[in-house]
Amino acid sequence: MGKEIKRRNTKQRKAILEELKKLKTHPTSYTLFRILKRKFPKISLGTIYRNLNILKEEGKILELTGGKYGCHYDGCTEQHYHFFCIGCNNVFDLEIPVFKGLDKKVSKKGGIEVKYHRLDFYGYCQNCKKKGGDSYG
């Protein structure tokens, strides 16, 4: 195992983590940049990227990659499912229980040991569905 790196907990990193834990919208790095620019006028997008990577490596946040929907970030690291809207590109938590039996099934069938899984759903959110989102984008 590699040597653990001691990092200083900067004001910016602390603010990024606090913002992600507060927000339920799973913002992109650019959205976080725009939000934190108000509090830290001299903050750069590079600082946001660097600190998001550190927080991800430390297991304090989740990076949600949805293909063409880009990377979104989540301050809740507990296992849960996400919904990616293919109409507005927003990401939402799904308030459904995690199917723990799936880990056991895959472990047994594959001859492997599954510790957890991530499962994402894609479709139209309530707002986009009302606007007539009935074909894939």
CATH code 1.10.10.10 region(s) in the chain: 1-74
CATH code 3.30.1490.190 region(s) in the chain: 78-137
DSSP state of 29: H
SS3 content of the chain, % helix, strand, coil (to 5): 40, 15, 45
Burial 66-85 (b: 16+ CB within 10 A, else e): beebebbbbbeeeebbbbbb
pTM: 0.82
Q: What is the CATH number of domain 78-137?
A: 3.30.1490.190
Q: What is the CATH number of domain 1-74?
A: 1.10.10.10
- For 36, the token pair is 């934190």
Give the model's pLDDT for residue 134.
54
**Of residues 134, 131, 120, the one with CA closest to residue 65:** 120
Q: What is the pLDDT along the chain (137 residues), one digit of tens a residue?
A: 444 556 777 899 999 999 999 999 999 999 999 999 999 999 999 999 999 999 999 999 999 987 776 799 999 999 999 999 999 989 999 999 999 899 999 999 989 999 989 999 999 999 998 887 554 44
